[in-house]
A = this chain, B = another copy of it.
């Protein structure tokens, strides 16, 4: 697809009709908003491949978003929707002939309904600002991604995010009840928020996980919850990974729903919970809800874990985790130290959690330069769990670092796919998993292509991410 080469001329037609639209072509913004936190992109930038968007557009209303997308279609300008850029898979990677659509000015909480327990919010609102605003009214969203202070509510929807308390509250697709979306070309559609409908296919699902390739969220209606009456938390040292996996599986199977279900292998347990671990895997659980349920849940789950050989280590390690859970070392600092670090999250059925975990750690550990390949479960389901792999490798030469990075991703994706897991639990596809998406969807990939082609026939919505235009 050929994009208009003279973006400047095109922008003049836009600003002529949209005098109030903030357009940034100079300064930091075109560089700062041209990428997300994908480790591979960071290495490439250090190699001198600096990214720069042609312009950053900062709409203040749905109508401005619609005007931009209509203009983009007319001028065949590619548009890269942008929240706060905290993605880690390369879904944001703007070029000089493209514009970034920065949703940061549409960041208001519009309404909270105290009877129907819904909140209406603009997509550019920072996650922690949104949660704090709900807390002030006695509510919670129940959605706590590690990025909550660095990401927007719209970004959560665009990537199909999951939060740390998902085992109780569900994932973003369980929370989004209605939305307003601007389609490529500028058409505004509203999907009403209802308790539940059987009015044909659930069209919200087209946009959840679409990573900016099918449309742009301009308003969101989320489920909210009254803040929990009681909480309980506990850390257990587990005799083996298998015992920890069984404890989680049996907890879910019995019908209990602790909000937090985290199982660290011995490597990560030693790194994060050394005193409790003593060389063993560690299980962290946290329940919240009405007091009667929490009393019953803590008792029953404690027995399930004990039956698997879990040793009670008190709640202090959970408190430590809660305090530090959103602290992530800067990838920039790590690269400065010659370290290549990344996380890769996948999900798989219970019977294959341990075999996949073992295989990836074994194969990852064999990669030259690897210091530590490890994993933890952070989200559990009755069907299975995610595994959140983390790797730390030593490699100060940038081209070698890229090679190493690709090798670890490749072996993890390959093992997951071959063993029947899903290649992405909650970080999305972006650019890093695109090749593997076509393998996972296989015969169904054509369906995603058809939808892309129908909704964005010119292929100008975030080209390069998620799926290539047919």
Per a CB cutoff under 8 Å, which of B117, B187, B467 touches A383? Answer: B117
**Do A382 and B117 touch (CB < 8 A)?**
yes
**Do A424 and B198 touch (CB < 8 A)?**
yes
Distance of A237 Cα from B140 Cα, bound (Å): 33
**Do B188 and A347 touch (CB < 8 A)?**
no
Per a CB cutoff under 8 Å, which of B118, B254, B454 touches A450? Answer: B454
**Do B379 and A254 touch (CB < 8 A)?**
no
Contacts of A441 in B (CB 8 A): 191, 199-200, 203
Contacts of A162 in B (CB 8 A): 196, 198
**Do A447 and B171 touch (CB < 8 A)?**
no
**Do B249 and A115 touch (CB < 8 A)?**
yes
Which of A34-42, A268-276, A288-296, A330-338 has 4 or more CB atoms under 8 Å from chain B? A288-296
- Provide the A104-144 mask, 1 if CB < 8 A to any CB of B, else 0: 00000000010111100000000000000000000000000
Task: Enumerate A397-440 residues with CB–CB distance to B below 8 Å.
Answer: 420-429, 433, 437, 440
Chain B residue at minimum C-beta to C-beta distance from A188: B443
Most buried by B among A293, A433, A437: A293
Contacts of A383 in B (CB 8 A): 116-118, 177, 193-195, 223
Residue A51 lies at the interface, judged by CB distance under 8 Å to chain B = no
Distance of A447 Cα from B199 Cα, bound (Å): 13
**Nearest chain B CB to A220's CB is how many angstroms away?**
14
Task: Enumerate A185-227 residues with CB–CB distance to B below 8 Å.
Answer: 187-203, 205-211, 214, 223, 225-226
**Do A255 and B293 touch (CB < 8 A)?**
yes
Contacts of A160 in B (CB 8 A): 197-198, 202
Which of A12-20, A75-83, A348-356 has 4 or more CB atoms under 8 Å from chain B? A348-356
**Do A209 and B205 touch (CB < 8 A)?**
no
Distance of A241 Cα from B200 Cα, bound (Å): 31
Copy tally for this chain in the complex stands at 2
Per a CB cutoff under 8 Å, which of B187, B347, B424, B444 touches A203? Answer: B444
Distance of A279 Cα from B98 Cα, bound (Å): 68
Distance of A433 Cα from B290 Cα, bound (Å): 40
Residue A30 lies at the interface, judged by CB distance under 8 Å to chain B = no
Distance of A115 Cα from B191 Cα, bound (Å): 37
Say whether, besides A255-B289, A383-B118, A198 and B443 are in contact (CB < 8 Å).
no
Contacts of A187 in B (CB 8 A): 443, 446
Chain B residue at minimum C-beta to C-beta distance from A177: B383
**Do A256 and B196 touch (CB < 8 A)?**
no
Contacts of A385 in B (CB 8 A): 195
**Nearest chain B CB to A50's CB is how many angstroms away?**
29
Distance of A228 Cα from B254 Cα, bound (Å): 8
**Do B197 and A208 touch (CB < 8 A)?**
no
Residue A300 lies at the interface, judged by CB distance under 8 Å to chain B = yes
Say whether, besides A351-B115, A454-B451, A199 and B194 are in contact (CB < 8 Å).
no
Distance of A442 Cα from B189 Cα, bound (Å): 8
Chain B residue at minimum C-beta to C-beta distance from A205: B205
**Do A200 and B195 touch (CB < 8 A)?**
no
Per a CB cutoff under 8 Å, which of B190, B205, B347 touches A197? Answer: B347
**Do B255 and A196 touch (CB < 8 A)?**
no
Chain B residue at minimum C-beta to C-beta distance from A423: B199
Contacts of A214 in B (CB 8 A): 201
- Provide the A371-396 mask, 1 if CB < 8 A to any CB of B, else 0: 00000000101111110000000000
Most buried by B among A196, A207, A429: A196
Residue A277 lies at the interface, judged by CB distance under 8 Å to chain B = no
Residue A102 lies at the interface, judged by CB distance under 8 Å to chain B = no
20 residue pairs bridging A and B, Cβ less than 8 Å apart: A160-B202, A162-B198, A173-B202, A189-B447, A190-B443, A191-B444, A194-B347, A195-B381, A199-B422, A199-B423, A199-B424, A199-B428, A199-B429, A201-B207, A201-B209, A201-B210, A202-B205, A205-B206, A255-B293, A292-B300
Known: A195-B347, A196-B381. 16 other contacts (CB 8 A): A115-B350, A116-B349, A116-B383, A118-B383, A159-B198, A162-B196, A195-B386, A198-B425, A201-B208, A203-B441, A206-B447, A223-B382, A255-B293, A292-B300, A451-B454, A453-B454
Question: Which 8 interchain pairs have the tightest Cβ spacing?
Answer: A292-B296, A160-B198, A116-B349, A195-B384, A205-B205, A194-B422, A115-B351, A195-B381
